[in-house]
Amino acid sequence: MINITPLIPELFLLVMAIVVLMLDLFSSRRTVVVPAYVSMAAVIITGFLVFKFGGDAVRWGSNAIFVADSFSQFFKVIILGAAFLAIGSSFGTADRMTHHRGEFFALLLFSTVGMMFLVSAKELILLYVGLELTTIPLFVLVAYQKTNRASSEAGLKYLIIGAASSAILLYGLSLLYGYTGTTYLNEIAQKTAVYFLSHGFIPNAEGTTDLVGMGPAFSVALMMIIAGLTFKLAIVPFHMWAPDVYEGAPTPITAFLSVGSKAAGLAAIIRIFDGMLYAFSHDTMPNDSWGTMMAVLAAVTMVAGNIIAIRQTNIKRMLAYSSIAQAGYILIGVIAASKLGVASCGFYMFAYMFANMGAFAIVGLYAEKTGKKNISDFAGLSKTSPIIAALMTMFMLSLAGIPPLAGFMAKYYIFAAAIEAGYTWLVILALLMSVVSLYYYANVVRIMYMVDSDNKHHIIPSFPAGLVLALTGIGVLLFGILPQSILDMAYKTASSFIF
Amino acid sequence: MPADYSAVLVFIIAGTGIVVFTFLLSWFVQPRNPYKVKTETYECGEPIFEQSWTQFNNRFYIFGLIFVIFDVEAVFLFPWAVAFKSLGLFALVEMVIFITILLVGLVYAWKKGALKWV
Amino acid sequence: MDIGLYHYLSLAAFLFAIGLYGILTRRNAIAILMSLELMFNAVNINLVAFNRFSGSDGLSGQIFALFVIAIAAAEATVGLAIVILIYRNWRSIDADRVNLLKW
């Protein structure tokens, strides 16, 4: 008999997702409100359960399959927060749908469950199943506006690229399995560490004592796993899908995609590379070539994301390229491969969640009201809806990393971790790119405040959308001024890693 | 080792030879008298009313999709059934949960009208 | 000649490469989905071959393959549904003609 108590939060959310699905089926009133509020309540309760049943692991024999450690708890809070905010800001979107409203929320919850599994998985099969449970509902959600050509195109692109990237990841996982003969991450960590301590980075032909005697296969496996996971994070050169999908998808789904799926993918990368392959960044290692490779990826991502974002006219596309650039900053924390690095990654994701969800909520609200999606359409917003404009300013400045806001503290800790790990050149580049990013973030603020227009749209958010804006606004301010509590929590998350 | 497969080779040659021989034989002895009704596609004796290259009803697609899902889930039943005796009660409960989830899916498809022929 | 692990791995690698090539060059969305299936099945061959030849008595490779089969089926189902949707909206399943979103 296996002890499954650590799984209770996930099981609860899964049951609630099925309940929401059934609610849509058997209720005669075709309203969006009931399934949406039930989903929001389910997400909050799951959040409490995550803390109530944390700390333990589901084991098979002596190996952990599923761990509910503080690292996974922290990322689950981010994922559940993103789900909550996405549901809150999708009332308007769901209201304009004619069919299958309940499914919308059920699929969102299914995807959330998948992310929670992905964050906790310590075994390759569970990792893969969690990944697919995350992405398959998202394929459907992206293509959800059935009569909208752009939405269905985004769905097709996301499907093809998402499935291809998971096939690549899977091929890497199969090689890893063949190389080590086990699917448990902790056993893989032991075997690779022992192997590399005795053989160096790329094993030579005579040093192959492992089960199949193939050395370079391990490097290929690592490359394919990195490629597959960085597809999910939209790291350059695997970013091409992100702008198209972000633009075509319903706005709350775009927001959820850009925060939730990114957080889950990030957690998986940290687990695999900082947790399992810590040997690579260890002092006794002959070199740290994977660190250098990831550093180059991060650098290219920041440069490309920020520079292409400058010339975007569509606000969703601009935010898509900005989120690509943000993924580059986050990757710096992974590369640092230290306690501070993991903690700063967590904190960055936390701050990013508030600013990005808030920004997308405003974009969604504005598009619902006016049908306009260009940055220039925001002209005169400060006159007609001053509070919305002020909030948007806050989110933009937080994404850019301006001092009193959460985004600044996040960037600060990421850079501190990278300097500690000796990646000074990367930090200098990141600082330069932050300055570049200020240009396009501040451009939105300039258009809202400085450019006159005959825009008469007064935007009044509905109650859930208002709640989302209030929460994200408070989050961006509060965790910018008082980051300590979250930072301590984030620091605790790194305790399960060996550095 | 190739000698072990000589019997297979004999079978392959004989099998192919018989098929070719019968086809050739019928081709030589058959009477050829084509006329319109004879060259038409045979549809169980019914007179044909359209070409065989037609657009299929979309419904077939939906049924196909539902079939694929339920068909593939059966793959988990076989290893479970084989190892059932050594797994005990826990596996039974797990499989009941699994099948319940599949049933919920079936009920869902049913209620949504996916199983109805419109 | 004995058939060993390398033969299976080469077969899987070829299949995977054919699938990847298909995704990159095919324009018909259905053909792209079929290429994806090739990639998933290449992984299955890999997993089962590793499981058979690794010498350990575990079955995790085979179980992994079962899960991959099930999930590939789910992916194919969603994929076909999205292709139907594309056909309804665009009257074509040529991936090159579905090009509203760019840059």
Structural contact between residues A355 and A437, judged by C-beta atoms closer than 8 angstroms: no
Question: CB burial class (10 A; 0-12, 13-18, 19+) of residue B43?
Answer: exposed
Is the model's pLDDT at A210 over the cut of 60?
Answer: no
pLDDT at residue number C99:
74
Is there a contact between A163 and C99 if contact means CB atoms under 8 Å apart? Answer: no
User: Percent of chain B having pLDDT more than 90?
Assistant: 14
Least trusted range by pLDDT, from A184-193, A311-320, C24-33, C35-44:
A184-193
pLDDT at residue number A498:
64
Residues of chain A found within 8 Å of residue C89, distances taken between Cβ atoms: 147-149, 152
pLDDT at residue number A202:
43
Residues of chain C found within 8 Å of residue A140, distances taken between Cβ atoms: 78, 81-82
Using the Cβ of A175 and the Cβ atoms of chain C, whether some distance falls under 8 Å is answered with yes
Residues of chain A found within 8 Å of residue C55, distances taken between Cβ atoms: 181, 211
pLDDT in tens, B59-97: 788 888 888 888 888 888 888 888 888 888 888 998 999
Mean pLDDT across A355-365: 92
Q: How many domains does the structure of chain C reveal?
A: 1
Is the model's pLDDT at A203 over the cut of 50?
Answer: no
pLDDT at residue number A118:
93
* CA of A308 vs chain C CAs: smallest distance (Å): 9
pLDDT at residue number A213:
38
Residues B113, C17: Cα–Cα separation, whole Å: 40
pLDDT at residue number A286:
39
Is the model's pLDDT at A204 over the cut of 50?
Answer: no
Candidates B100, B102, B108, partner chain A, best to mutate (most A CBs within 10 A):
B108
With vertex at residue C55, the alpha carbon angle to CA C53 and CA C60, rounded to the nearest 5 degrees, is 80
Helix (H, G, I), strand (E, B) or coil at A59: strand
| DSSP class per residue in C30-91 | HHHHHHHHHHHHHHHHHHHHHHHHS-----HHHHHHHHHHHHHHHHHHHHHHHHHHHHHHHS
pLDDT at residue number A350:
92
Hey, which of A242-246, A338-342, A370-374 has the most confident mean pLDDT?
A: A242-246
Nearest to B72 among C63, C73, C84 (CB): C73
Mean pLDDT across A158-178: 92
pLDDT at residue number A354:
93
Q: Is C44 inside a domain boundary?
A: yes
pLDDT in tens, A425-465: 999 999 999 999 999 999 999 988 888 777 777 778 888 88
Whether the ipTM is more than 0.90: the answer is yes
State the residue range of the domain holding C81: 5-90
Helix (H, G, I), strand (E, B) or coil at A374: strand
User: Percent of chain A having pLDDT more than 70?
Assistant: 90
pLDDT at residue number A282:
47
pLDDT at residue number A431:
92
Using the Cβ of A419 and the Cβ atoms of chain B, whether some distance falls under 8 Å is answered with no
Chain A residue whose CA is closest to B102: A18
CATH of B2-112, one of 3.10.620, 3.30.70, 1.10.3470, 1.20.58: 1.20.58
The total of other beta-carbon atoms located within 10 Å of residue A208's CB is 14
User: Percent of chain C having pLDDT more than 70?
Assistant: 94
What is the CATH number for C39? 1.10.287.3510
pLDDT at residue number A325:
93
Hey, which of A267-276, B11-20, C2-11 has the most confident mean pLDDT?
A: B11-20
* CA of B40 vs chain A CAs: smallest distance (Å): 41
* CA of B69 vs chain A CAs: smallest distance (Å): 14
For chain C, which chains pass the contact test of at least 3 CB pairs under 8 Å? A, B
Is the model's pLDDT at A342 over the cut of 60?
Answer: yes
Residues A277, A192: Cα–Cα separation, whole Å: 7
User: For all residues of chain A together, what is the average pLDDT?
Assistant: 85
Band of residue A1 on the pLDDT scale cut at 50, 70, 90: low
Chain A residue whose CA is closest to B109: A25
Tell me which residue of A360, A363, A388 sits closest to A374, measured CA to CA: A363
What sign does the dihedral C16-C19-C23-C25 (CA atoms) show? positive
Beta strands in B30-108 (DSSP E): none
Structural contact between residues A469 and A436, judged by C-beta atoms closer than 8 angstroms: no
Mean pLDDT across A477-496: 85
One-letter amino acid at A282 equals H
Tell me which residue of A360, A386, A357 sits closest to A455, measured CA to CA: A386
Give residues 121 to 160 of A whose Cβ lies within 8 Å of C.
Answer: 124-125, 128-129, 132, 136, 139-140, 143, 146-150, 152-157, 159-160
Mean pLDDT across C10-35: 91
Residues of chain C found within 8 Å of residue A183, distances taken between Cβ atoms: 60, 64
Domain ranges of chain B: 2-112
Nearest to C82 among A128, A156, A177 (CB): A156
Residues B74, B87: Cα–Cα separation, whole Å: 18
User: For all residues of chain B together, what is the average pLDDT?
Assistant: 82
Band of residue A277 on the pLDDT scale cut at 50, 70, 90: low
Burial call A365-389: b when 16+ CB within 10 Å, e when fewer: bbbbeeeebebebbbbbbeebeebb
Mean pLDDT across A390-397: 92
Using the Cβ of A15 and the Cβ atoms of chain B, whether some distance falls under 8 Å is answered with no
Is the model's pLDDT at A378 over the cut of 60?
Answer: yes
Is the model's pLDDT at A11 over the cut of 80?
Answer: yes
Q: Which residue has the higher pLDDT, A4 or A475?
A: A475
Band of residue A130 on the pLDDT scale cut at 50, 70, 90: very high
Using the Cβ of A99 and the Cβ atoms of chain B, whether some distance falls under 8 Å is answered with no
Using the Cβ of C63 and the Cβ atoms of chain B, whether some distance falls under 8 Å is answered with yes
Residues of chain C found within 8 Å of residue A129, distances taken between Cβ atoms: 67, 71
With vertex at residue B54, the alpha carbon angle to CA B50 and CA B55, rounded to the nearest 5 degrees, is 140
Band of residue A380 on the pLDDT scale cut at 50, 70, 90: confident
pLDDT at residue number A165:
92
Is there a contact between A22 and B112 if contact means CB atoms under 8 Å apart? Answer: no
Is there a contact between C80 and B73 if contact means CB atoms under 8 Å apart? Answer: no
Sorted by sequence, the CB contacts under 8 Å of residue C68 that are 6+ apart come out as A128, A170, C40, C43, C44, C47
**What does R_g of chain B's alpha carbons equal in angstroms?**
26
Residues A259, A136: Cα–Cα separation, whole Å: 17
User: Percent of chain B having pLDDT more than 70?
Assistant: 90
Is the model's pLDDT at A212 over the cut of 50?
Answer: no
Q: Which residue has the higher pLDDT, A110 or B58?
A: A110
pLDDT in tens, C37-69: 999 999 999 999 988 887 666 788 889 999 999
pLDDT in tens, A48-83: 999 888 778 888 778 888 988 888 999 999 999 999
* CA of B26 vs chain A CAs: smallest distance (Å): 51
Using the Cβ of C64 and the Cβ atoms of chain A, whether some distance falls under 8 Å is answered with yes
For chain B, which chains pass the contact test of at least 3 CB pairs under 8 Å? A, C
pLDDT at residue number A199:
53
CA A282 to each of CA A25, A155, A198, A395: distance values in angstroms, whole numbers, following the listed order: 55, 41, 14, 38
Nearest to B75 among C66, C74, C76 (CB): C66
Q: Is C95 inside a domain boundary?
A: no
Domain ranges of chain A: 288-499
Chain B residue whose CA is closest to A99: B112
Mean pLDDT across A291-298: 83
Mean pLDDT across A396-417: 90
Residues of chain A found within 8 Å of residue B106, distances taken between Cβ atoms: none
Q: Is C96 inside a domain boundary?
A: no
